[in-house]
A and B are shown apart, each in its own frame.
Chain A
Amino acid sequence: MNQNIKIGVSLYSLSTQFIHEELDLEGCLKAVHEMGYKGVEIVAAQMVPDYPFPSDEWLFSFRGLLEKYDLEPVCWSAYIDMGTRTDRDLTEAEIIQCTVNDLIYAKKAGFPMVRTQHAISPAIFRKMIPFCKELDMKLTIEMHWPHHPDVPVWKEYFEIMKGEGKGYLGFVPDFSIFQYMPHALYLRQAEEFGCRKEALDRIVELHAQGGDLVALESGDFTPIEKHYAEEMFGKFNHPARIEQFRDLIDCIFYIHGKFYYLDNDEHDPCIPYEELIPKFAEYGYKGYIASEFEGHHFYSDVDCTEQLAHYVALNKGILEKL
């Protein structure tokens, strides 16, 4: 059994219950504790009241709640909301302000790491090094679909992570970058939006064969079916290659174990966990993989608790064999 990789949870997985006000933040913490989780991530823009200016009182009380439920704060997730303004993107000063603030809030709440996003820019990422050292905080960039290691800006990020930011600056691969098939909720939605079941089956088949646009054009498909086919071919036909992460493993401080829908404890038909987990283990990854259920984007009637249970069982099954 591999002991270096631990399965944690992003509270974001409980988005449905949270935004429908079935669970408040403490309810979410209690729920993940009862599911057996230890390491947790919070999406600050989602669950922190008065964000982006939470009070010290709130931050300290949140820290107390984590202790109450015997949870380990792992990652404080922040955004670079570049498109906040209608007239222009964020300026350097604005990006620095929100990033510094998130590092401070995370520190006060007891988290050792902030996840930020690709739009921070290499120049600002580099400027965060002294601040991270001063606070003893890690700052990581999430590599999320549609990004992948070959996107040019990431080469600059890797250089900084391996060089002057070593040990403080890193990245968080989100397993969305490895998705190669559409998930069940995506297909359910496509049918509800008017795609015929048999046409959808054929489109999935075409996708699995490489996404033949000529066959799509010449086939018997309605405009909505073609729309879904083109989206499917574009989204899931270019997954990142796991080998690309071998030489980057020292820069990976955390992983987002993205998944959309699991109907069993054994296999995810969209993201190749049976390949990914052993490879990350072989490359020497040490740390948490966050259970990150994202089916709540599509449907609110999916039981998140059951999904997380499937996810933990799937990963434990793989880790036990290592």
Chain B
Amino acid sequence: MDFVAYNEILICRKPIRNYVVAGVTVGYEFQIKYPSYRGCYLSCIEDLFFEMDGERLDAVNTFFGLNDKQFTLEELPELFREYWYVNKPATIRVMLPGGIAKGEHTLRVYMKHRVPYTGYFGSYLTLESDRTETLVAE
């Protein structure tokens, strides 16, 4: 299968950081990259969800930050003018009172995405990138 090796870059191997507002920890953040050899428009993302330590994160409380903007997960398929450069990480902010405990955590990222130039005979190739990594929360 083509494209498979690019899934290795999906989860950035950087620490998870708690998100602190005026001394109050209100959530945490981690980063992901677009799992391809090239950049793409966010509208090509057909599905995206996350699991932290086996628990699926609530999409409503999970924000997608890129290009100095922030989006909801549900609006990604509409963002046909928002380009995701392949080496620019997106910051995923999870709103969780108290943040995340220090130490190791297991993050799973699942992304279903369309390769927008593959419609040679009509239909587009759709890829499933599914990665799990152990990250450290600081």
Contact = CB atoms under 8 A, between A and B. Distances in A.
A18 B40 CA distance: 16
A194 interface: no
Interface of B: 1-6, 8-9, 33, 36-41, 43-44, 46, 77-78, 80, 83, 85-87, 114-121, 124
Main secondary structure on B side of the interface with A = loop
Nearest to B126: A83
Main secondary structure on A side of the interface with B = loop
Interface stretch (A74-82, A131-139, A202-210, A283-291): A74-82
Contacts of A84: 41, 43-44, 80, 116
Given A79-B117, A86-B78, A300 B5 contact: yes
Contacts of B6: 19, 297
A27 interface: no
Interface of A: 12, 15-16, 18-21, 43, 45-46, 49-52, 79-86, 89, 117-119, 144, 146-147, 189, 193, 296-300
Given A85-B80, A86-B46, A80 B117 contact: yes
B5 A46 contact: no
Contact of B9 (A20, A83, A144, A193): A20
Contacts of A297: 2-6, 37
Contact of B38 (A45, A82, A147, A298): A45
Contacts of A86: 43, 46, 77-78, 80
Given A84-B116, A189-B1, A46 B43 contact: no
Given A18-B87, A19-B6, A46-B37, A83 B116 contact: yes
A147 B37 contact: no
Contacts of A118: 120
Given A83-B124, A86-B43, A12 B5 contact: no
B118 A296 contact: no
Contacts of B80: 84-86
B120 A83 contact: no
A299 B5 contact: yes
Contact of B120 (A50, A146, A300): A146
B18 to A, nearest CB: 25
Contacts of B78: 86
